[in-house]
Structures are given as structure tokens and as C-alpha cells.
Amino acid sequence: MADAAVTHDVAVYEPSLFGTYSKKIGMWLFLLSDSLTFGALLYAYSYGRISIANWPTPFHSGSIVNATIMTAFLLTSSLTMVMAVSAAARGKESARVGWLLATMACGIGFIILHGREWTHLISEGLTLPIFPAVPGQDATSEFAGVSKTVPQFAATFFGLTGMHMLHVTLGVVYLGIIALRKKFIPILYACWLAAWLLTPSYSPFHYASHVLLVTALICTLILWLKPKVYDAADTEVAGLYWHFVDLVWMFIFPLVYLMSTKIL
Amino acid sequence: MEDAGQLAIEARVAEQHRHHSHTQFFVVWGVLLVLTAIEVYLGYQNMEPKRMLSILMCLSIVKAALIIGYFMHMKYEVSRMKYLTMCSLVFCLAMMMVFFPDAFRILYLGVH
């Protein structure tokens, strides 16, 4: 696989109607459609929150602290992302890669903390019918009754935050490819293998880890078919996606966590 | 085949990014963190849910505007791009609110 930019012939087309380049407009259109997906999920959660009088409030101060740190991670990752875009525009390649890696580190921190939160809630009995049963779990678990009395809570919570976690994971992979190109592919396969082997078979993450395998295969195919050097425009477009992921969390955090805080 | 116009626009956008000060990004980041801290504080005030939801959503919209405007660079796009994307998004999301009266009806009638 060649690791060099593919050169193209150059032609002149009509000027852009929106004053910017096509890749960026394409990403904005994708983000607008994705906003509606998240909008529908957030409205579904809000609908349940309003219409069900005994809506559970399962988030203790520990969960709120965890979610606040997750928010700080995402906000910081947006800062490092704009620094990466700025470095790319200035042609500073090593700074661009460094800032992108810092952004990825914040994203990975977010995923780990979110995974910890999910694992805690599942172990306490908040679950979905499709999740495998946790061994040794009994009826005395804190949320054992919640999934039965208000099934909408678990469904909308896992649906909304799971969709967001998927977006963050794909965002980290996207940034990895933009930063390291084909060098990131073996890392991605290693991450899949580690996630698959290190998570217990009753954890939803054991099965969700295969998302990484599918992503790694698609990335391998893309980089094999169209190897190129990612420039300032590619970094900016990747940044738009990353900021969008951050933006969505700015609505999930207050709506899901702060509106369901357990005040003692 | 690449478009020379596209390459020229990419170069112009990169030029714009070179002129943005890093201080501005740090200020926006600081404001976002402060707004988050305010939200967390409000989360622990035993407020009526509807009132708290309104305040939290207003703060979230301010945070979203800062992210879109400064981090996503929308503030510096041409008006056509700005208004077409944002107005269509707000319109579509607002249309989804049509379901909320039904949620209140269920709550007040006690229908489950």
C-alpha cells in the first residue's frame, strides 16, 4: 500500500454557492441529518421524563461527578481539536498530530468513564432485555425494579447514551486515521482484540467491541483503495464531526443526568 | 480530477484559520466550563422539574451556540451558509415539539 498522496489533474468548476469547499458542506449536511437523529432520541427521553410521574432518579453524586468529568474531557477535547485545526492551517505537521492525539486521549478517557458508568448501572440491575444476564445478580440490586416498572427509562437511557458513545468511538477512529493514517490500522485491530478478550462475556461491551473490527476493516479498505496525505481541510472536516459529538453531549448531560439526580 | 476552485477555497479557509487567536479559543473553553459548573450546581437545587428543564436547556443552547460559532467556525461562514443550515435545523427540531402537549396530557390525566 503506497503511503503517498495521489496526484490529480486540476480543472475549474463553478464557484461554491456557500463560500466553502464541498467536503465541508458535505460534512455539515451529514451533521444536520445526524442532529435530527439525536433530536428524536432526546425528545423521546424528554417525553418519558414529562409523562411518567414515577420517573427514576438513579444518579447519585458519584454518577454526577463521573458525568461532569466526562463533560470536562469532551470540552477539553474540543479545545485540542481547534488547536489541531489551527496547527494544520499553519502547516505545522507535528503539532497537528500532537493535538489530534491529545483529542483522541480525551475521547478515550470519555469512553472509559462512560463504560464504567454503564457497567455500574447494569450491575445494579438497570438493564435491557437484549443485554445478557449478569451472573450473581439478585432482586435486591438497587435498580432491579426500575427496568420492570419504568422500562422506558432504561430503553431511552441506553439508546441515547449508547448512540452517543458509538459516535465518540467512531470519532476517535476518524481522528486516528487523519493523524496517523495506515499506522493507526494495527492499533485499531489491537484495540478490538483487547476489548473483546478483556471484557466478560456478559458485558454488552464484549459484543459491541466488534464495532471496532468492522471499522478497522472499512478503514483498511479505504486506505488501500485511496491512500492520501490528509491536509488542513481534512483536519477541519474531522474537527466539525468531533465538535458535533461534543455539542450533542451538552444536551445529554443536563437532560439525562442532571434532571435525574438523586438528591438526598 | 480536483477542482481548482475547491483548492483555492481550501487555501482561503486555511488562511482564515491562521488569523484566529488562540486566546479566543481558551476564553470560549473557559466559558463552557463555567456554564457546565452552573448546570451541575442547579442539578442539586431541589427545583420544580419544568423550571429546571427550562433553565438547563437555555444554558445548553448558549453552550451549543458557542461551540457552533467559534469551534465549528460558523461565525466566519458566509451568511447564506449560516442562515440556511441553522434555520433549517432549528425548524426541524422545533417541529418535533408537536409531541410534547401529548406528554403533558398523559401526566395530568394519569393515563399510563
Q: What is the pLDDT of residues A32-88, one digit of tens each?
A: 999 999 999 999 998 888 888 888 888 888 889 999 999 999 999 999 999 999 999
Closest partner residue to A50 (CB to CB) among B20, B43, B104 is B104
The amino acid at residue A22 is: S
**pLDDT value of position B98:** 84
| Statement to judge: residues B87 and B54 lie in one domain | no
pTM of the entire structure? 0.89
| Statement to judge: residues B38 and B55 lie in one domain | yes
Q: Is A18 on the interface with B (CB under 8 A)?
A: yes
- Domain containing B109 equals 79-112
Residue A257: DSSP 8-state: I
**pLDDT value of position A139:** 63
First to last CA, chain B: 60
User: Yes or no: is domain A22-180+230-260 CATH 1.20.272.10?
Assistant: no
Residues of chain A contacting residue B24, judged by C-beta atoms under 8 Å apart: none
**pLDDT value of position A14:** 67
| Statement to judge: residues B72 and B85 lie in one domain | no
Domain boundaries, chain A: 22-180+230-260
Other Cβ atoms closer than 10 A to A140? 7
Give the count of domains, chain B. Answer: 2
Is there a contact between A20 and B13 if contact means CB atoms under 8 Å apart? yes
| Statement to judge: residues B96 and B48 lie in one domain | no
Other Cβ atoms closer than 10 A to A165? 20
| Statement to judge: residues B112 and B96 lie in one domain | yes
Rounded percentage of chain A residues whose pLDDT exceeds 90: 58
Question: How far, rounded to the nearest angstrom, does the alpha carbon of residue B101 sit from its chain's CA centroid?
Answer: 24
**pLDDT value of position A57:** 81
Is there a contact between B71 and A82 if contact means CB atoms under 8 Å apart? yes
| Statement to judge: residues B40 and B15 lie in one domain | yes
Q: What is the pLDDT of residues A96-147, one digit of tens each?
A: 999 999 999 999 999 999 999 999 888 888 888 888 877 776 666 667 777 7
Beta bridge partners, B3, equal A11
| Statement to judge: residues B69 and B91 lie in one domain | no
Is there a contact between A78 and B26 if contact means CB atoms under 8 Å apart? no
pLDDT band at B28 (very low <50, low <70, confident <90, very high): very high
ipTM of the complex, rounded to two decimals: 0.86
Residues of chain B contacting residue A19, judged by C-beta atoms under 8 Å apart: 9, 77-78, 80-81
Other Cβ atoms closer than 10 A to B9? 20
| Statement to judge: residues B22 and B56 lie in one domain | yes
